[in-house]
Structure 1
């Protein structure tokens, strides 16, 4: 995930941030409104650490993988579609038929019947 994504819309990251920083509240996140500096200052005050250390920890968190909840947010749909090709094995054509799985030419059995 990037800091820019967080700054543009921090709301999808809410649950991940509250899990990572249990001392934060919804109000703290709303007050920071996407500002990593303001959020780090709040974290520093609540956790009793230096603001620079809080800023570094927050940036490390934001530089890591995007939380699943945030990735599933509707604002990331286009990115998810663009990334979906990463999950298609090499040599696989996602638009090809699936005859190689062996059941395309076998008629379906009616419901409740074995044959």
Structure 2
């Protein structure tokens, strides 16, 4: 993931940030408001580590997966759906319920419904 994802969904990342850096609390995160420089400075001050060490930890953390609570955020869903538009046929709306496209009857009901 990129810092831009974190910044745009800042509050949704609180849990993942506190899990990685337990020294931070939500009131600190509220003040930082997604500012990467402020976040690095705060972590360096709070943990006693050098900013370069914090930047490396942050790089490693960003290389991980987006936390599930962020992925489940409706704004993220809409973004993913919009990106899928290139795979949707001409004249179809990527946000529309796919049941109207008539392919739901191609697969027999497995009884789980």
1:6 and 1:38 map into 2 onto residues whose CA distance is 14
2:68 and 2:9 map into 1 onto residues whose CA distance is 15
Check the 8 A contact 1:3/1:59 in 2, yes or no.
Answer: no
Post-superposition shift, 1:80? 4.3
2:76 — aligned with what?
Answer: 76
Gaps of 5+ in 2: 88-102
Q: What is the Cα-based RMSD across aligned positions, in Å?
A: 2.3
Post-superposition shift, 1:13? 0.7
Written as runs of structure 1 = structure 2, the 5 A alignment for 1:7-86 is 7-81=7-81
Post-superposition shift, 1:79? 3.7
1:110 — aligned with what?
Answer: none
Runs of 4+ with deviation above 6 angstroms? none
Q: 1:79 to 1:47 in 2, by over 3 A?
A: same
Secondary structure, aligned partner of 1:34: coil
Higher percent of residues as helix: 2
1:30-74 superposed Cα distances (whole Å, 9 cap, x missing partner): 111111111111111111100121122113212321011111112
Q: How many pairs are equivalent?
A: 92
2:4 and 2:66 map into 1 onto residues whose CA distance is 12
